[in-house]
Chain A
Amino acid sequence: MVLKTELCRFSGAKIYPGKGIRFVRGDSQVFLFSNSKCKRYFHNRLKPSKLTWTAMYRKQHKKDIAQEAVKKRRRTAKKPYSRSIVGATLEVIQKKRSEKPEVRDAAREAALREIKERIKKTKDEKKAKKAEVAAKQQKTQGKGNLPKGGAPKGPKLGGGGGKR
């Protein structure tokens, strides 16, 4: 029906085809005015944000915002979308989603226990190695010297494993 209603640059009103004045400034900027009132005010360098009847003023002084806020609230909540991604097919995702919390906890504890045992094993191994080295040194160096290998034991592994 209508070609396209433009918006007035000054007042924000709709400009129907056949109305309005188009002003092209020297710097190639185009201004659309809905009537000669807006055009006159523009040329007299009045500010639309200071004239109560313009859209700019209403926006600045926050008139009519309550209505817009009510409209926005009507949007429905987004549902979680089931789709397979690279690295996890749809079945894997669904299985993980439907896992019960007890099962998850049990799995987590099992993993923790494994890690702790692993660390304990490495700690014991290191202790055994150090003891061997210390024993060897004692034999070669003589009885007087204290075993130097025993003092620096390295960072405490027990504390790190427990936190995990």
Chain B
Amino acid sequence: MRTVLKVVDNSGAKKVMCIQALKGKKGARLGDTIIASVKEAMPNGKVKKGKVVYGVVVRAAMQRGRCDGSEVKFDDNAVVLVDKQGQPIGTRVFGPVPHELRQKKHVKILTLAEHIA
């Protein structure tokens, strides 16, 4: 809640603020979906400022445990905007994305990504 995340696709938004984590009592982590409100947007984009959108967290500064026991952490907090069905709104994804998205069935985002960490 109230976390400002960077948007790393070309859907038009630049910064969103989380208003609800869809799963988890303690909050959303890497790979979870959130509901967010667009705080900053590009002038001509698919989403405008003030819109309520869904997003998938692709980078989190908080570490998340992996199946083999190691932990991953990224440099920043980033999100990719999706619609209610889970398909990404934008057509490109910038920066590294984690493996965890495959388990959560966000395969589309993985294919668009330029680097899978």
Question: Across the two chains, which residue of chain A brings its CB closest to B61?
Answer: A23
Do A26 and B69 touch (CB < 8 A)? Answer: no
In the assembled complex, the CB of A142 is this many whole angstroms from the nearest CB of chain B, namely 96
Does B63 interact with chain A (Cβ within 8 Å)?
Answer: yes
Report which of B63, B73, B76, B98 forms a contact with A26, defined as CB distance below 8 A: B76
Do B69 and A18 touch (CB < 8 A)? Answer: yes
Does A24 interact with chain B (Cβ within 8 Å)?
Answer: yes
Do B96 and A28 touch (CB < 8 A)? Answer: yes
A24 and B66 alpha carbons, distance in the complex (Å): 14
Does B105 interact with chain A (Cβ within 8 Å)?
Answer: no
Chain B residues 45-85 with CB under 8 Å of chain A are 59, 63, 66, 68-76
Question: Across the two chains, which residue of chain B brings its CB closest to A32?
Answer: B70
Question: Across the two chains, which residue of chain B brings its CB closest to A15?
Answer: B70
Do A24 and B114 touch (CB < 8 A)? Answer: no
Question: Across the two chains, which residue of chain A brings its CB closest to B114?
Answer: A28
Return chain A residues, CB-CB under 8 Å to B115.
28
The interface on chain A, measured as residues whose beta carbon lies within 8 A of the other chain's beta carbons, has a size of 14
Do B70 and A19 touch (CB < 8 A)? Answer: yes
Does B27 interact with chain A (Cβ within 8 Å)?
Answer: no
Does A3 interact with chain B (Cβ within 8 Å)?
Answer: yes
A3 and B70 alpha carbons, distance in the complex (Å): 13
Report which of A3, A15, A24 forms a contact with B75, defined as CB distance below 8 A: A24
Do A17 and B75 touch (CB < 8 A)? Answer: no
Question: Across the two chains, which residue of chain A brings its CB closest to B117?
Answer: A24
Do A26 and B95 touch (CB < 8 A)? Answer: yes
Do B95 and A28 touch (CB < 8 A)? Answer: yes
Chain B residues 78-117 with CB under 8 Å of chain A are 95-96, 98, 114-115, 117
Return chain A residues, CB-CB under 8 Å to B74.
23-26
In the assembled complex, the CB of B97 is this many whole angstroms from the nearest CB of chain A, namely 9
Question: Across the two chains, which residue of chain A brings its CB closest to B115?
Answer: A28
Return chain A residues, CB-CB under 8 Å to B117.
22, 24, 28, 30
Return chain B residues, CB-CB under 8 Å to A22.
66, 70-73, 117
Does A134 interact with chain B (Cβ within 8 Å)?
Answer: no
Interface residues of A (CB under 8 A from B): 3, 15, 17-26, 28, 30
Apart from A18-B69, A25-B74, list 9 A-B contacts with CB within 8 A.
A21-B70, A22-B117, A23-B73, A24-B59, A24-B98, A26-B74, A26-B76, A26-B95, A28-B96
In the complex, the 10 A-B pairs of residues with the closest C-beta atoms, listed nearest first: A18-B69, A28-B115, A24-B117, A26-B75, A28-B96, A22-B72, A24-B74, A20-B70, A17-B68, A21-B71
